[in-house]
Structure 1
Amino acid sequence: REMDADHNRCVITLAGEREPIQEAAIRGAGKAAELIDLNTHQGAHPRMGAADVVPFIPIEGVSIEDCVAMARHVGSEIWKRFQIPVYLYEAAAATPERQNLENIRRGQFEGIRAEIATNPARKPDFGDLRVHPTAGATVVGARKFLIAYNVFLNTPDVDIAKKVAKAVRASSGGMSFVKGAGFLVRGMAQVSMNLTDFEQTPIARVFEMVKREAARYGAAPVSSEIVGLIPKKSLEQAAEWFLQVENFDSLLVLENRLAAVMGGKMAVGGLRAGVEPFVEQLAAPTATPGGGSASAASGAMAAGLANMVASMSRGKKAYVQYERELSDAIARLSQLREELKAAIDADAESYNSVMKAYRQAKQSADGNEMIQLALKQATSIPLSVAEKAHAVAQIVEQLKPITNPNMKSDLTTATALAHAATTGALANVEINLESLSDLNFVAEVRQKASSFSVPSMVRP
């Protein structure tokens, strides 16, 4: 939990399983509505609701699609239980305009209260055309990990912070995946930023940009702060950046190495000990995990192999001219690997949800609708796996001419695994489509799936 008197705002981070987290978010919004009256609330940070923003973020064992479903459920429940209108944003947004939080929150509580009944652009995704009289409206969504990062300058001149923020943020031509504003906090000018994709725009680069822009006005950073939690990887990136470590690898960090050993990556029994439980689950006489989970695992392994080859070529003299391409490939492969690993469980759980819908349909008048909805969700996950595995295969092809040729067999294996993942995932998509009655949805999915073509044979 993070609290700030100047912003008059509290950031609470929750982590856990899906059902408890959903309920905690719903109840948290209700408690905020009890305690906070926006008619009297004042603070430096923009706000439109007592529970202002509720983002769901995939960390492990869930996909962004799962988080979208969670966001929609929570948004619906917040309206039903507390009569607080809800807007969906980022990956959960119903329209492109609402992907950006600033577009929704423009005008803050007072502006939305004045316009919600008359401006069609202000219509909430859940709820009537009115704000809650004291709690306003809430924004719920799904997104990647966001780092809330603030830099304090050695000046009380808030105009300098605003100029620096304008130069740094993406919306005014600055750095991609950076949002920023200037505030006066504790008597110092503060450049307040949200980093929406730290793998694409690392925190160290952002700090350097702020430092450079502040120098134009005779100012300099005196400190910085992180609000909420931050992925360990982002700090490792900063260490690599500032220390200029040539051979940096996450496993050079003692605690990471120990965690890998304890987690089974190098456990007693060798590599087999790490993979055997999953293989045995596949072999068990149960419906899950099945081909969908195996496809996701295959795609994750493909991304892992490609990442290894790129990492072992980056930094070597023979490939120094490809440093940028290799770094970009490593960042993208890391992201794809994590998303594909999350899909292993997500696919199995979506199948279980379909089976649950079939059972519940027998006692519900809306039974068929429940089944169709569950099937659509179960279709979206393998479709996403196919898309990601296809992306891995494309990156592998790009790596072949710019990496060590002695590792070509590893890239050939990565290609074969990626193609297997795509083929298996698309087979799961097709079998779900056969049970769907929404012909428009079926046609759209098949058209998208057709773009992930797989060669009939993979050669070195």
Structure 2
Amino acid sequence: MLHSQSQTWGTWGSEKMASRRLGLGLVACLLNVSEGRRKDVVEQIARAALQDKHGRKQHNTSVLNIFSDYDYNRSVITIASTAEQIGRSVTLACLEGFACIDLSQHSGIHPCLGAIDLIPIYPLSNIKPEECGRIAQVIAGELATLVPGCSMFLFGHADEKTKKSQAEKRRSLGWFKRNTKVDVTQLKADVGANPSKRYGLTGVGASSYVMNCNVTLDTQDVTTGRSIANVIRCHLDGVQAMAFPHCGQVEIACNIQSFRDSECPNFTPESDKYVLYNICSDTYSYVSPRYLEGQVRCLAKSQDIDTVGAALVGFSPQECKDTAEHAIDHGIGEFWKKRSNISM
């Protein structure tokens, strides 16, 4: 049974709140950092998005969620803000992360290329992914200036040359290679210095919203898990899937990306399979996490393997928007502290 790491907070869409958000682009960054074992460090990075070193508060910003995994040694910090402010808040969090995390000392099951591994910017309301791409470019440039020695690759709408997706760019850099630790110093950066062992190579980009859904298999057979992940990748639009050993079992870790109809020529909106939402008059679709869980369960059953649960990491696009509006309108910067569960 799919359960969400987000809490249901009811309906907040009052006319007052809606009017305060009207005309303001609202965006989210699901900041991926290569640290999931030192809770104090992860929370220090999260708090840096809300207040600079001089104690100046970053307005219109909230950290909605922190999701950490010990085996992966990785955390996802959900930062939401207005389009005008998100760059500053994310940059502050990254500066703290670069100061605290040494990639050369990192160990974990989940692949990574950077101490700050991923800085994706996603639209929530009144802004398009293309505009988020420009925000991502500014963040990359700021970090290259403020952290001499850090390096970035660009993806999605931040990558003006190729517009390669996050998955395509990672694949070209060897991120998906099994049982092989990539020598980041041999990789080519799009922005900043040549990659170093300490900072590695950070992905900075923008796309429509990507959510994470993990399904656990009651087995230690990673080979079977990988075959299931491969079927999921090949047959579900917008879904990337990988299989990892996790806590004595196997986890199918999935990225579910929203997409516009025009981006998938053969797309047919089936009500039980996809969830639809709108931003700036554009309709976006994404595979329902419940449908995804059901597909993994069926594939596992065909191999006589049970699934033992699934978790939505953080929020769906609609939940993220509603939660961000509530937290920002009420001035709740450390919203993650109101959540009952922030780790697997």
Per the alignment, residue 147 of structure 1 pairs with 211
In the alignment, the residues of structure 2 paired with residue 36 and residue 133 of structure 1 have an alpha-carbon distance, to the nearest angstrom, of 11
1:63 aligns with 2:128: yes
In the alignment, which residue of structure 2 is the partner of 1:248? none
Equivalent pair of 2:123/2:132 in contact (CA under 8 Å): yes
- Of 112, 118, 121, the match for 1:47: 112
Distance (Å, rounded) in 2 between the aligned partners of 1:18 and 1:211: 39
Q: 1:133 to 1:11 in 2, by over 3 A?
A: same
Q: Secondary structure in 1 aligned to 2:92?
A: helix
Q: Write the deviation string for residues 255-306 of structure 1: whole angstroms up to 9, x where unpaired.
A: 9xxx9xxxxxxxxxxxxxxxxxxxxxxxxxxxxxxxxxxxxxxxxxxxxxxx
Letter in structure 2 aligned against 1:194: N
The structural deviation recorded for 1:62 is 1.9
- Once the 2 structures are TM-superposed, how far is the Cα of residue 227 of structure 1 from its aligned partner? 1.5
Q: Once structures 1 and 2 are overlaid, which stretch shifts more, 100-109 or 197-206?
A: 100-109
**Counterpart contact for 1:88–1:140, Cα < 8 Å:** yes
Structure 1 stretches lacking a partner, 5+ long: 117-121, 235-254, 260-460
Give the Cα–Cα distance (whole angstroms) in 1 for the partners of residues 163 and 305 of structure 2: 36
For 1:312-391, what aligned pairs fall within 5 Å after superposition?
none
**1:86 matched to 2:152:** yes
Q: 2:78 aligns with which of 5, 8, 13?
A: 13
Contact 1:151 1:225 in 2 (8 A): yes
Report the Cα offset of residue 101 of structure 1.
3.0
SS of 1:79's partner is: helix
SS of 1:211's equivalent in the other structure is helix
AA partner of residue 132 (structure 2): C
| Deviation (angstroms), 1:33 | 1.2
Cα deviations across residues 1-54 of structure 1 (Å, max 9, x unaligned)?
A: 110001100100011122331112112221111111111201111111111111
Structure 2 residue aligned with 1:201 = 287
The answer to whether the 8 A contact 1:29-1:50 is kept is no
User: How many Å apart are 1:66 and its aligned residue?
Assistant: 1.8
Q: How far apart, CA to CA, are the structure 1 residues paired with 2:166 and 2:86?
A: 24
Q: CA deviation at 1:69?
A: 1.0
Q: Which of these residues, 158, 166, 186, is aligned with residue 115 of structure 1?
A: 186
The question of whether the paired residues in 2 share the 8 Å contact of 1:148 and 1:228 is answered with yes
Number of equivalent positions:
226
Could you tell me how far apart the structure 2 residues matched to 1:79 and 1:208 are?
Answer: 43
The aligned residue for residue 300 of structure 2 is 214
Structure 1 stretches of 4+ with a deviation exceeding 6 A read none
Q: Cα distance, 1:110 vs. partner?
A: 5.4
Corresponding residue SS for 1:19: coil
For residues 391-402 of structure 1, the aligned pairs below 5 Å read none
Pairwise CA distance, 1:112: 4.9
Identity %, equivalent residues: 25
Q: CA deviation at 1:202?
A: 2.1
Q: Where does structure 2 lack aligned partners over 5 or more consecutive residues?
A: 1-65, 259-274, 276-284, 327-344
Aligned to 1:176: 237
**Could you say which residue in structure 2 is the equivalent of 1:188?**
249
**Structure 1 residues 112 and 228, CA gap change in structure 2 (3 angstroms):** farther
AA aligned to 1:113 is V
1:159/1:25 CA distance change after superposition, 3 Å: same
> For residue 225 of structure 1, what is the aligned residue in structure 2?
311
Q: Shift of the alpha carbon at 1:216?
A: 1.7
Separation in structure 2 between the aligned mates of residue 102 and residue 52 of structure 1, nearest angstrom: 15
| Partner Cα distance (1:155, 1:180) in 2 | 17
Q: Given the two structures, how large is their TM-score scaled by the length of structure 2?
A: 0.61
What is the distance in 1 between the residues matched to 2:248 and 2:153?
34
Could you say which residue in structure 2 is the equivalent of 1:163?
227
Q: The residue matched to 2:105 in structure 1 has which SS?
A: coil
Q: Counterparts of 2:286 and 2:80 in 1: how far apart (Å)?
A: 24
Contact kept, 8 Å, 1:4 with 1:10, in 2: the verdict is yes
8 Å contact from structure 1 (residues 75, 86) kept in 2: yes
Q: Measure, in 2, the Cα distance between the counterparts of 1:107 and 1:38.
A: 17
SS of the equivalent of 1:49 reads coil
What SS does the aligned partner of 1:44 have? coil
* Rg (Cα) greater in structure: 1
CA change 1:47–1:102 in 2 (3 A) is farther
Shift, 1:73, TM fit: 0.3
